[in-house]
C-alpha cells in the first residue's frame, strides 16, 4: 500500500475564498491582497483568491474584481476564482484572472440552496461558461460538492458523484474537486466513492476537498493518497466553510497537510512556516486563533501581538 503513495502532491490553497467567504466579519480588501501575496511566496502553485458570485449571496467577497485587479502576478502561481454563471464570468474576464472554477454538487437540495439552480440547470449554465471562458485562455476547474454527505439529504450515492464528475470533465474542466462540504466523511467513504470514481477517471483528473468538522479530514487525505490522488484543497490556518451548508466548519489547514506530507517524505514544494506567516495576516485582522494545529503550535512559539 505505502509503495503506491504519490511522490509529489499539489496543495491547492482555497483560504482566501473558502476561508473568507464564511467569516462573519468582512476582511478588508488590502488585507486580502496581503494574505494572497504572502501565500504566493510560500511555494504554493494554485491559489483560489475569491468568487465572482452575487454579492447578496456572499457579501464577504463583494470586492472580487478589485482583489484580482490589484494582485501582482507571481511566477509559477496560478490564481483562480469561483464563477457560478455568465455574469460572474464577465467579471472574471474583466479581472484578467487565469483560471476559474464552476461549482455544482451531487445532491439537488444543496445545489438549490447554494446557487438556486437544479443540477441539470447548473450543468447547462456551466457549459456556456466553459465554452465562453476557453477562447479567453482561461482554464476551468469543477467542484462537485456534497460528494459524500449532504446537509439536507444525508448519504450521497457514489454513482451520482461519478456521473456529474464525468459530465463536467466532458464539458472541458481540467480537473474535478470532490468536496466533503460538511466534513462528515470517513476514510471508508473516501475508499468507496473515490474508488468508484477511479474506475471511470484517471487519478490526475481528481482532487479532494475536505472540511474538518468532525476531525476526519487528515485521515481522509491519507485514504486519498493510498488511492493515488495527488491534489488536495486546503485552507491556510484551517479557515473555511460554506454559508449554505449548515454546520460546515473550516477546510483542512494547509499547515497541517504540509506537516504530514513533509514527515512522510512526500514533496509539495510548500514551506510550512511561510504559510503560517501568511495566515497570521488574517489572524491579526480577525483578532482570533485559527483552527490549524500547526498554526497553534507555531503561534505558541511566536505569540501574536493584537
Q: Which residues are catalytic?
A: 242
Which of the listed partners (ligand HMG, Mg ion, none) does 103 bind, with a CB threshold of 5 to 8 Å by partner kind? ligand HMG
Among 23, 29, 43, 57, interactor with ligand HMG by CB under 6 A: 57
Stretch of 13-21, 39-47, 149-157, 194-202 contacting Mg ion, by CB under 5 A: 13-21
CB of 113 to Mg ion, least distance (A): 14
Q: How far apart are CA 290 and CA 226, in angstroms?
A: 29
Q: Does 124 bind ligand HMG (CB under 6 A)?
A: no
Return phi, psi of residue 155, to 5°: -55, 140
Q: Does 18 bind Mg ion (CB under 5 A)?
A: yes
Of 35 and 143, which has the nearer Cβ to ligand HMG?
A: 143
Closest CA to 152 of 267, 233, 247: 247
Per DSSP, helices labelled H in 56-183 are: 64-70, 86-95, 108-115, 119-133, 158-171
Q: Does 13 bind Mg ion (CB under 5 A)?
A: no
Among 30, 69, 87, 304, interactor with ligand HMG by CB under 6 A: 87
Of 21 and 85, which has the nearer Cβ to Mg ion?
A: 21
Q: Does 48 bind Mg ion (CB under 5 A)?
A: no
Q: Does 132 bind ligand HMG (CB under 6 A)?
A: no
Q: How far apart are CA 105 and CA 178, in angstroms?
A: 9
Stretch of 77-85, 195-203, 215-223, 291-299 contacting ligand HMG, by CB under 6 A: 77-85
137 φ/ψ sector (left φ>0, alpha ψ -120 to 50, else beta): left
Residue number with the smallest Cβ distance to Mg ion:
18
Q: Kindly tell me the sign of the dihedral angle through the C-alpha atoms of 52, 57, 63, 67.
A: negative
Of 182-241, binders to ligand HMG (CB under 6 A) are 209, 211
Q: DSSP letter string over 201-232?
A: S-GGGEEEEEB-TTS-HHHHHHHHHHTT--EE
Neighbouring residues of 136: CB distance < 8 A, sequence distance ≥ 6: 93
CB of 305 to ligand HMG, least distance (A): 32
Q: Does 256 bind Mg ion (CB under 5 A)?
A: no
Return phi, psi of residue 209, to 5°: -130, 95
Among 85, 165, 175, 249, interactor with ligand HMG by CB under 6 A: 85
Which of the listed partners (Mg ion, ligand HMG, none) does 160 bind, with a CB threshold of 5 to 8 Å by partner kind? none
Of 114 and 216, which has the nearer Cβ to ligand HMG?
A: 114
Of 120 and 302, which has the nearer Cβ to ligand HMG?
A: 120
Q: Does 103 bind ligand HMG (CB under 6 A)?
A: yes
Q: DSSP letter string over 148-209?
A: SEETTTEE--HHHHHHHHHHHHHHT-S-EEEEETTS---HHHHHHHHHHHHTTS-GGGEEEE
> Which residues contact Mg ion by CB under 5 A?
18
Amino acid at each position: 500500500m505505502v509503495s503506491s503513495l504519490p511522490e509529489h502532491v499539489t496543495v491547492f490553497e482555497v483560504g482566501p475564498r473558502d476561508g473568507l467567504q464564511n467569516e462573519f466579519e468582512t476582511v478588508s480588501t488590502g488585507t486580502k491582497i496581503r494574505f494572497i501575496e504572502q501565500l504566493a511566496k510560500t511555494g504554493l502553485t494554485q491559489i483560489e483568491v475569491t468568487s465572482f458570485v452575487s454579492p447578496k449571496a456572499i457579501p464577504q467577497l463583494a470586492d472580487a474584481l478589485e482583489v484580482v485587479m490589484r494582485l501582482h502576478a507571481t511566477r509559477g502561481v496560478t490564481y483562480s476564482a469561483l464563477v457560478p454563471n455568465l455574469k460572474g464570468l464577465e467579471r472574471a474576464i474583466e479581472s484578467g484572472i487565469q483560471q476559474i472554477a464552476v461549482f455544482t454538487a451531487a445532491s439537488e437540495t444543496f445545489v438549490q440552496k447554494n446557487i438556486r439552480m437544479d443540477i441539470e440547470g447548473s450543468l447547462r449554465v456551466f457549459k456556456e461558461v466553459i465554452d465562453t471562458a476557453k477562447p479567453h485562455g482561461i482554464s476551468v476547474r469543477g467542484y462537485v460538492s456534497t460528494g459524500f454527505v449532504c446537509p439536507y439529504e444525508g448519504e450521497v450515492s457514489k454513482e451520482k458523484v461519478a456521473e456529474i464528475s464525468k459530465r463536467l470533465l466532458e464539458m472541458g474542466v481540467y480537473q474535478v474537486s470532490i468536496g466533503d462540504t460538511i466534513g462528515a466523511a470517513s476514510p471508508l467513504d473516501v475508499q468507496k466513492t473515490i474508488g468508484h470514481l477511479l474506475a471511470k477517471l484517471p487519478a490526475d483528473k481528481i482532487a479532494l476537498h475536505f472540511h474538518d468538522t468532525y476531525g476526519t479530514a487528515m485521515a481522509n487525505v491519507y485514504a486519498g493518497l493510498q488511492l493515488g490522488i495527488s491534489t488536495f484543497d486546503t485552507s491556510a490556518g484551517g479557515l473555511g466553510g460554506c454559508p449554505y451548508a449548515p454546520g460546515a466548519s473550516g477546510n483542512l489547514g494547509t499547515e497541517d497537510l504540509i506537516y504530514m506530507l513533509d514527515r512522510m517524505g512526500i514533496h509539495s514544494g510548500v514551506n510550512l512556516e511561510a504559510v503560517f506567516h501568511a495566515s497570521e495576516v488574517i489572524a491579526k485582522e480577525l483578532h482570533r486563533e485559527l483552527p490549524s494545529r500547526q498554526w497553534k503550535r507555531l503561534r505558541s512559539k511566536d505569540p501574536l501581538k493584537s
